[in-house]
Amino acid sequence: MKLGIDIGGTFTDLVLLDEDSGRMVLGKTLTTYPDPLLGILNGVKQITRDSGVPLPSIGVVVHGTTLITNAVIERKGARTALLTTAGFEDVLEIGREMRYDIYDLFLTMPKPLIPRSLRIGIRQRMNKDGQVLTPLDLAEVEHAAERLIRRGVQSMAVSFLHAFANPEHEQAVGDLLRRKYPHLSVSLSSEVLPEIREYERTSATVMNAYTQPLIQDYLRRLKQALVERGFQGEIFIMNSAGRLTTLDGAQRFPIQLLESGPAGGTMASVFFQRQLVAAGNDIPQLLAFDMGGTTAKASMVRRGQPEITHHFEAARERRFKKGSGLPVRIPVIDMIEIGAGGGSIARLDALGLLTVGPDSAASQPGPACYGRGGQWPTVTDADLVLGFLNEHYFLGGTMPLRRDLAEKAIEKHIARPLGIRVEEAAWGIHRIVNENMANAARVHILEKGFDPRSFTMMAFGGAGPVHAFAVARLLGLSRLIIPGGAGVLSALGFLVSPVATEAIFSHVSRLDRMEWTTINTRLADMERSGRTFLQETGLSADQIQVSRMAEMRYAGQGHEITVPLPVGTLSAESLPAIMRNFGEEYALRYGRTLPHMPIESVTWRTVVSGPPPQISLYQQVKGAVSQQAQKDTRPAFFGKTWIEVPVLDRYTMPTEQRFSGPCIIEEFESTTVVGPDAAVWRDDFGNLIIEMF
């Protein structure tokens, strides 16, 4: 028995899975502030009661959290100091010396996590090849550490120049600090991100140190609370690349958890795509669309794998402006995020124009219709007024909604100032948020060199199935899939993801001048370390899979692309295959190649992973079930007039029987809206398949 727990901005989602039978039990509870652990414990109590499975019978808990992201955004991490090579104390401010908006005279750059007074330069130096130019004096390090500890420092980041080439000095400092100051959290750049580029490496190391005490305390309290309630199994944590790590791994490298929660939904989409393809369905490219209470996210799944990027920014000054945040070169599922969720607030701007988001009502006070004190209209309020949501069947009727409060909020803040009817104002909110999400997804796909119309959309999240049809129509898609348990799919994604680890090293060299013995030795060391880590989690040697990649570029370029490496020992004979892989990826990204330019490597990566679970899923029916597929009708507003549409019970819909749109399909965790000129049916796996004409 495995339990997945995902904390969102509005709801905490839970999925209890019996791997032997494939039976799922789903749960949803409001996220609690300021301590989300209370919401987790409420959800655990609820789902064990609903399933009849006591907590001691659950063997594995997998958790995803936004704790790290929130700590960085809100600047609520530990008091942290930085030890760096003398002369490089200001690298966090200098950065790349680039303005993310060259025309903004009042531009604000992201504030470093460590103030200048807590950054100390140490006289030591390595050259780019890792040779010692200036020896390290540990007495100087100890003196600096004493000064910083007297200032209340709880965590220490160490980032020396060229430590990726030779970590000897950093390791000596780390040994000293951990031995003499065991209460201090210590992060070394050669362990966190052993990669070229001192700014990005230092930024990542600082962020790791800044959040480490926080995650250590949180995970300790989580484990203690579960153990006190009878849990005796293992706890795994989802990282940003859709891979599971242990409690120890999460505590050592919390930076890997920045996008922990959103990764779960994409990994669930990977699972369902593989399942559908294995059954004979033609779905080469999938657009995973996740719309929750606070944000919406879109990511691509190609050839059964998520798109992974190593270019990520946290705590942006302008949420959707590249370059305005703190760079973190960690593996992250590549997704576009937009401030558009069920709780996104609608208002009129200074010009009297209707805008939606990015600020959210979250769970406290929540949308006006929650009846928890929210005064501003939100997307959920609009969906309720339009008839898309059932005020008596939200979360299966366990959380009644107040339509009168939703109408009052929309009328006061939108309809009356604009001189229009309440339903017209609600339709405007609904359309704007759909356009915003479709535009963001379109740009994300086009930037990767693909045509959006070639994708099938898989939609999930509490609000995703309500808006997915309209978004898919705007993107020009012809097929939409709503999987079972869509409202809690990120939590399910945790349970179908593999345990995995990634190791990296930088070695800049032209391929035709490569020292292949050095490369093979480093790759073998990383594979051996990864296999040891996975075997400690209980996996056998024959269950472990290894994949290797390198980030490469044409000589003289400043940006790299990720290229898969051939299997086996690399040598000069491997060059044709490596160059062919590089050419294919480069042409896909940029539409051309430069055949006469030499290619050089920058960073080498090894991913060691366990197998994804091979299971068939069966969703447990929650609440009362209708005697027939159509349980009711109700009026819904589709832009011009009210239409009486059939309301279907997802649990009762016969397999393969087609229903014409418009219609509304209800289940415990979410509601699916199907517009006109479409057909919907339930397949053998319990997915809703929607075809648009």
- Decide: 292 and 487 in contact? Cβ < 8 Å: no
Instruction: Record the pTM.
Output: 0.86
Question: Is pLDDT above 80 for 30?
Answer: yes
Residues 227 and 141 in one domain: no
DSSP H or E run through 443: helix 422-447
Q: pLDDT tens digits, residue range 171-206?
A: 999 999 999 999 999 999 999 999 999 999 999 999
CATH number at residue 237: 3.30.420.40
Taking the mean position of all CA atoms in its chain, how far away is CA 647? 33
Strand partners, 23: 618
Question: What is the dihedral sign for C-alpha 423, 427, 433, 434?
Answer: positive
Looking at residue 362, what is its pLDDT? 73
Residue 68 and residue 86 in one domain: no
Residue 650 is assigned to a structural domain of this protein: no
Is 87 within a domain? yes
Q: What is the mean pLDDT of residues 494-504?
A: 92
Residue with tokens 């490569």: 514
Residue 322 tokens, joined: 């590249």
Quick one: angle between helices 422-447 and 403-410, nearest 10?
A: 80
Question: How confident is the model at residue 19, as a pLDDT?
Answer: 85
Distance CA 539, CA 575 (A): 34
Asked whether residue 237 falls in the same domain as residue 179, the answer is: no
**How much is the pLDDT for 376?**
93
**SS3 annotation, 73-121:** HHCCCCCEEEEEECCCCCHHHHCCCCCCCCCCCCCCCCCCCCCHHHEEE
Q: Is residue 472 part of a domain?
A: no
CATH number of the domain that residue 113 is part of = 3.40.1360
DSSP state of 413: I
Region of poorest pLDDT, from 11-20, 152-161, 427-436: 11-20
Q: Which tokens sit at 87?
A: 């002369």
Percent of the chain whose pLDDT exceeds 70: 98
Domain membership of residue 102 (yes or no) is yes
In a domain, 482, yes or no: no
Please state, rounded to an integer, the average pLDDT across all residues of the chain.
Answer: 90
Domain that holds residue 523: 500-609
Same domain for 196 and 231, yes or no, is: no
Is 531 inside any structural domain?
Answer: yes
Residues 208 and 85 in one domain: yes
| Among candidate residues 536, 365, 346, the one with its CA nearest the CA of residue 433 | 346
Check whether residue 18 and residue 95 sit in a common domain.
no
Does residue 624 carry a pLDDT above 70?
Answer: no
pLDDT at 669 over 90: no
**Last residue of a domain, which of 193, 212, 231?**
212
Same domain, 91 and 188: yes
CA-to-CA dists, residue 629 to 619, 683, 686, angstroms: 17, 15, 14
Q: State what percent of residues in the chain have pLDDT above 90.
A: 65
CA distance 112 to 72: 10
Contacts of residue 536, Cβ cutoff 8 Å, sequence gap at least 6: 246
Give the span between the Cα atoms of 358 and 121, in whole angstroms: 40
* Selection from 208, 217, 222, 313 nearest residue 252 by Cα: 208
pLDDT at 321 over 70: yes
The residue written with tokens 């007495």 in the block is: 139
Distance CA 280, CA 272 (A): 13
Q: Indicate if 115 and 21 belong to the same structural domain.
A: no
Identity at 329, one-letter amino acid code: R
Place of tokens 């035709």: 512
pLDDT score at 626? 65
Tell me: the pLDDT tens digits for 152-176?
999 999 999 999 999 999 999 999 9
What is the pLDDT at residue 66? 79
Q: Is residue 653 within a helix (H) or strand (E), and if so which, with residue range? A: none
d(CA 8, CA 394): 18
pLDDT in tens, 342-353: 888 999 988 889
Tell which of 179, 212, 245 closes a domain. 212
Give the tokens for residue 385: 């007024």
Show which of 386, 405, 431 is a domain's final residue.
431
Decide if 54 is inside a domain. Answer: yes
Confidence of residue 225 (pLDDT cuts 50, 70, 90): very high
Average pLDDT, stretch 682-691? 90
For residue 232, what are the contacts with CB-CB under 8 A and spacing of at least 6? 56
* Most confident of the ranges 61-70, 369-378, 407-416: 407-416
How far is 211 from 233, CA to CA, in rounded Å? 26
Asked if pLDDT for residue 294 goes beyond 90, the answer is no
Q: For residue 618, is pLDDT > 70?
A: no
In a domain, 487, yes or no: no
* 107 in the same domain as 10: no
Is the model's pLDDT at 486 over the cut of 60?
yes
What's the domain count of the chain? Answer: 4
Does 531 lie in the same domain as 605? yes
Residue at 292: amino acid letter: G
Residue 619 · residue 492 · CB < 8 Å: no
Cα separation, 493 vs 14, in Å, equals: 11
One domain, residues 113 and 133: yes
**338 DSSP β-pair partners:** 296
Over residues 372-387, mean pLDDT? 93
Residues 46 and 173 in one domain: no
| Tens of pLDDT, residues 47-93 | 999 889 999 999 999 999 878 888 888 888 999 999 999 999 999 99
